[in-house]
């Protein structure tokens, strides 16, 4: 749905990422709405595991839509897992293996807490996989790519808590059964009937 570019913010002297819509998506009004929803969800979820602040949303001089967000210096969980298994097959020590495994489990726990928070405020990610989880230079864990996220109706018990339900400005989806898609290998079995591939 989008293309990412590393950029330099000249007014605040910081690295940033610009996410532009692809030309194919620009032609589809549903994809344009989904792109705006992604920027809004990413910007509104208030949790340390979703601290990829959205700096702004707009259009470039050609009218191509984009949003700007914080640059995260790190690696995808997918690569961290691969490196862990590769190191185990070489000359690593048993103590080093345990330390690396516990660090990976801590990253997984952190990602689960982030997703639990999102569910608590009425948002489902819909495309959770190791390549959408980033591990920062100091072990911090971020859940990225909320482009397929959907609203759902929270139960009265959950809605009674102090966290307000996140409702998208566009109206978003009240159902997680509409055609949101996802990555086949990581979708729950009950998603197959509604998914688009």
Annotated domain spans of the chain: 2-70, 74-191
What torsion, rounded to 10 degrees, do the Cα atoms 62, 68, 71, 72 define?
-120
Region 74-191: CATH code: 1.10.510
Looking at residue 167, the DSSP 8-state letter turns out to be -
- Max Cα-Cα span within the chain: 56
Asked if 101 and 44 count as a contact pair (C-beta separation under 8 A), the reply is no
What is the CATH T-level fold of the domain 2-70, as seen in this structure? Phosphorylase Kinase; domain 1 (3.30.200)
User: Is residue 176 over pLDDT 50?
Assistant: no
Determine how many CB atoms are found less than 10 A away from the CB of residue 144: 18
pLDDT at 80: 94
Ranking 51-60, 86-95, 129-138, 153-162 by mean pLDDT, the lowest is 153-162
Q: How far is the C-alpha of 141 from the C-alpha of 105, rounded, in Å? A: 11
Average pLDDT over residues 151-164: 64
Query: DSSP strand E in the chain: where?
Result: 2-9, 14-21, 54-59, 65-70, 74-76, 123-124, 133-136, 141-143, 150-151
Q: In CATH terms, are 2-70 and 74-191 the same topology?
A: no
Q: Residues, the chain, total? A: 197
Choose, from 28, 46, 127, 145, the residue flagged as catalytic. Answer: 127
Q: How far is the C-alpha of 10 from the C-alpha of 196, rounded, in Å? A: 40
Collapsed DSSP state (helix, strand, coil) of residue 43? helix
pLDDT at 101: 92
Collapsed DSSP state (helix, strand, coil) of residue 67? strand
Average pLDDT over residues 77-88: 90
pLDDT at 194: 46
What torsion, rounded to 10 degrees, do the Cα atoms 65, 118, 168, 30 define?
50
Asked if 5 and 17 count as a contact pair (C-beta separation under 8 A), the reply is yes
User: Is residue 177 over pLDDT 50?
Assistant: no
Phi/psi for 32 (5° steps) reads -60, -45
Q: The pTM is what?
A: 0.78
37 among known catalytic residues: no
User: For the chain, what percent of residues have pLDDT higher than 70?
Assistant: 77
pLDDT at 130: 93
């Amino acid at each position: 749905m989008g293309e990412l570019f590393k950029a330099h913010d000249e007014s605040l002297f910081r690295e940033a990422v610009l996410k532009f819509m692809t030309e194919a998506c620009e032609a589809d009004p549903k994809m344009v709405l989904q792109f705006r929803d992604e920027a809004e969800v990413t910007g509104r979820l208030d949790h340390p595991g979703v601290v990829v602040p959205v700096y702004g949303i707009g259009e470039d001089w050609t009218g191509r839509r984009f949003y700007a967000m914080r640059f995260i210096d790190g690696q995808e969980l997918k690569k961290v897992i691969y490196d862990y298994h590769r190191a185990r097959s070489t000359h690593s020590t048993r103590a080093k293996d345990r330390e690396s495994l516990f660090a990976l489990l801590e990253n997984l726990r952190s990602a689960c807490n982030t997703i639990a928070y999102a569910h608590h405020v009425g948002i489902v990610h819909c495309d959770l996989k190791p390549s959408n989880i980033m591990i920062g230079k100091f072990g911090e864990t971020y859940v990225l790519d909320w482009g397929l996220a959907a609203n759902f109706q929270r139960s009265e018990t959950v809605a009674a808590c102090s966290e307000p339900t996140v409702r998208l400005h566009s109206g978003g989806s009240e159902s997680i059964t509409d055609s949101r898609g996802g990555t086949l290998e990581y979708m729950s079995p009950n998603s197959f009937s509604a998914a688009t591939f």
